[in-house]
Structure formats: C-alpha cells, structure tokens
Structure 1
Amino acid sequence: MKKIFMTLMCLFLMMACTGGGGGLFGPTDDEKASEKFAKLLEYKTGQPYRVAKQSTLVGKYVVFQNLATGKFEAYNLAKFDRDSMHSLEAFLAVAVSGVDIVKNLSAKNEWVVSGYWEDLYDTRTETKEVYDEDCDCTLTETTETKIYIGRQWVDTSHYVYRYYGGGFRFENANQASRDLEMIAALEEDVAFKVISDKLTSSFSLSTNRAQELAKLVTQYNKLESIRSLTEVEKDKFALDAMGVSLNDIHEAMKEKREGSMDKFEKFLKTAAATNNTTPEQIGRFFDEYVE
C-alpha cells in the first residue's frame, strides 16, 4: 500500500512516522490510551493485539485486531481511564457489552467513488521588441498569458476499509485520515497530481512550489522504501520543505505545547517565506494535520 500522503506529512513535519501513529513529538493521549488498552487485551487473553483504526466516526471508539484469530473488535475508550485503569476488568466493570464493546466486526474493503474537476489552461507566449532608453538599445520583452481551455475529471476513486457490527460502522473520522487513506490507494502518478493540487488549492502554494514538494515526496518515498533516513537526510528534507532544521521544528512545537508561541511563530514565518505563502496558511496546515 503506497504511503505517499503520509510521506508528505512526514516531509512537512519531519515526524518519525510509524504505523501506530505518534511521531517526532510522541503519541497523543488517545494513542497512548489505545496502546495501553491493547496491552491489557493481550494480558487478559494471552494473544497479541494491534490498533486497526485509531479514530472513527463513532465517538472515541477504537478498532483493534486480534492477531491470533484475525478478528476485529471495537471498544469505546471514552469509558477507559488510562491513568486509573490497570486491568481489563476495570474497564469491563463500567462498559456495556454490545454498546461499549462490539466484537466480531466484519471488515470490508469497499470501493468509494470520488474525484474532482480540474481547470485546464494553455500558455500563450508573446514577444515584442521594445526600446530601452537606459541602454539606448532594443530589448526583447516576453509576456505569458494563461488561456482557459476546458476542464478534466481527476478520478480519485479508491478502496477503504470499514468495519461493521452491532449496528455500527467504523471508519476514519477526520479529513486528514480520509485523505491519507484515499491517497495511499491511488497510483503514484495520480497521487502526485492530487498532492500538488491540494497544496495549491488548500494552502495557497504556487503550482511550481507544489510540484517541487511533490517531487521531494517522491524522493523521500523511494529512500524510505529502501532504508531508514539518517538525521542528516531528515534535516535536509526539513530545510528544503520548511526552511528550518528538524530540531528547530521539534523545539517550536514543544514550546508551543508548553504555552510559549515565540519560536512557533518565528517558524511559521520562515516556513511561509520558504513556500511563498502566509504564516496563517502554514499554521492552518499544522492545525489540521498535527494538533
């Protein structure tokens, strides 16, 4: 399964992406709760579990897979207190079977039809001779005009995993997760185009800059598929994408979480200048994909 959109997130944020979530800045509280709950399931059953879907469209339900049986189960972790519950029995004492616990889920890989219309333009180049008084000479002046020539449909239809059982349907809850699942299912050339279009339309990057970043994604993806990146390579990608080092991003995010905005605002300005956009757009990117 291709990981191009996840790679884009890694490229922008330089997170140490893993299948279990988290990254450079560590797992979220919800992810920590899910990992602890998986361990409690393992201790109780003696069988290994993994988090199959962290966030769903149904409250704080998390889907787990029993790796020994292959079966999927959903648990309402709104009823789980990570700090005070140290056994599965403590959760079972407050959970309602069939409501907070949904077992024997049916996992279905379903085809989702999606896509968008893209405007097409041609470029008309005109040249003319103009007299320049400063040099007392004739110079050639070139102008380019974009001409609208029509529209084309970009097909992003793809398969997604959904889990059914007990009257519930569990799937990715937020737009970022749905984007990831959609992009990961696409062929690389189509995914490349969708990434470029998204960066242009959603975050006000120029077409050229969006394509440059998409190219960086491709390079990152190829390296990542062969071996783990070194810290020097990660820093190079961070500098190319955001204009600052990996450590600077880390420190800015850390201080932001501690309540200090100075380094984060400075980082936003640098990243915005690097990408010819605004600090607000870069900040919105972090709001949507990091916080």
Structure 2
Amino acid sequence: MKRTVSVLTMLFALVALTGCDRFEPRGGKPLDPMPAHVPTTPQYTTPDEVVAALARAGMPCKVLRRRTGALDCEARISGTTVENRIQVLNPEEFSRDEVGDSIAAWRNSGTTLVAAGNWFIRVLPNDTPAYSIKVANAIDAVVLPPPYPLPDIPSTPVYATADALADALDKTDFCMDRERRSTRELLCGSRSPEKKSCDASWANHHALLLLHKDPAARDDYIRLLLSNDHTPAVIVTAANWTIQFCDSATARAKADALGGVLIHHNPTA
C-alpha cells in the first residue's frame, strides 16, 4: 500500500516562544535532546565568533542589533539580503541537551534552523531553505527543518554508492545518461520521452539520486524539500537514499519496484 505525506498538516502543538532568545526551562518537563547528527563542534562562546566564521567563509554579516547571548546580522547570499539571527548558549552554563531543547522549541513552531556545537541561527527569510543550506555549508553546520511527520520508511535496501542505486533504477528501464556529481549524488535521464526536466539545474535529466549518512540526515533532507514550496519533485525513499522524480506516476511505479515509499506535497496527486 502506497503511503504519502502532506506538508499541509503538522501534528505538533505550537510551542509558546517569548521575545527572549535565551533558553528557558519548561516547567520541569523532560528536555528534547539535541539531534544526534548535529555536529558537536565548532563551539563558540559569543555570537561574534559566529559572525567571524561567516566572514572567513566569504559571507560577511553586518551586525544590526544585540541581545544577551545573541545578535542579528545582515548578509548578502546569491544577491539577496538575508538576516541571520544568531543564538549562542555558553557550554559552561548549558548542556548539549539544553541547547537541543531550545532548538526543538523553535523547530516545533515551524522554524528552520542552522545548528552546530552550542549555537543556532534562524536565517530570514525562513521559508526559503536555500539560504539556510548555504549558511550551514559555509560554517560546518547542519540545517534542521520543522519536524514534519513522515511515513514509516523501510530500512532496506541500502546502497553503498549513488551508482549502485542508479543500477537498481536502471533495471526498471529508467536511468540513462547519468551525470555524477559525487559518489553520493547523481542525475538520471529517462528512457521514455518527457517534455522537459522539472528543475533547471537538472538539464535534460528527470531524477535526482542522493545517498544520506544516516536516517536522521535523510529525514531532515526530506523535510527541507517539503518545506520548500518551489520543490518541483516527488520523493521516493528507503534506507539511506532518496530519489526525486519529475512525474508522480513514474515515482509511484519506481517506489513499488525499489521497495521505497512515496512522499509528495499533494496527498491527492
């Protein structure tokens, strides 16, 4: 039975957030731990150190305002003015799980964050994941999207390389004209004619194959796609891989053939 998920319904209660960005204990409730795939480093003692890291990465950020343990700064990313709201929780005062609990409060409210070590950033505009991804890549962090509910994802089959996944897809008479981007990512062309690629960066290809280091990283990647209204693809996933397809009917057929599940924006598609 095919299972789908819609981003229009979030099964999480909104968390009340105050104007203060510092961590506040929540009435003795158990802490939401830091996601395991968030890097433990780099750690910083002040938000200015994060600004300096951005500058070293070629992303200078002009400070706009300051708060205790936090600041907001403005940068240019791909020609767009982006505001980075940086929060640093001193590791001498806050445990990793307390940092994770603060991160969870923001994520549960529908916010995408960039995080590593003992700090996180809200990148505005927040509804465009591409800016958060660029910031995260620049300063050795990960992107944590809102925790949209996902279907049960099979733990097999596992593939060692994107080419191995492409070989499996090729057995269903689909993957040709491969463009390898890395051992973990490649594009596939279709053996059947299609009008055009569904993403300009795909050229004449019709599927994007990607391997992930662990289930948490895979799930956050899927959630990032779901948070982006401009994602033009349907997702098939299992184990350590995702494939984005242009066409819903093709995705359904390949999900069955590969033992994956189908995830898309429109549950009626």
TM-score (normalizing by structure 1): 0.26
Structure of larger gyration radius: 1
Task: Indicate the structure with greater helix content.
Answer: 1
TM-score (normalizing by structure 2): 0.27
